[in-house]
Amino acid sequence: MSKHDELRIDQQQLAEAWQRTLPDTVNETDRATVLPDDGDPKALRITIQAAGHQAYNFDFRVKYVDSREIKTTLVDVEKDGRSVDERTDIIQQLVQDYTRHIHECAQALHGLTHA
Whether 5 is in a domain gets the answer: no
Whether 3 is in a domain gets the answer: no
Question: Cα 85 to the chain's mean position, in Å?
Answer: 20
Whether 39 is in a domain gets the answer: yes
Give per-residue pLDDT as tens, 53-75: 678 999 999 999 998 899 999 99
What is residue 2's predicted lDDT score, i.e. its pLDDT? 45
Whether 6 is in a domain gets the answer: no
Q: CA 42 to CA 69: how far, in whole Å?
A: 11
User: 28-55 b/e with 16+ CB inside 10 Å = b?
Assistant: eebebbbebbeeeebbbbbbbebeeeee
> Which pLDDT band holds residue 115 (cuts at 50, 70, 90)?
low
What is residue 3's predicted lDDT score, i.e. its pLDDT? 53
What is residue 49's predicted lDDT score, i.e. its pLDDT? 94
Domain count, the chain: 1
Give per-residue pLDDT as tens, 79-108: 988 999 999 999 999 999 999 999 999 999
- pTM assigned to the model: 0.91
Whether 109 is in a domain gets the answer: yes
What is the domain extent for residue 30? 11-113
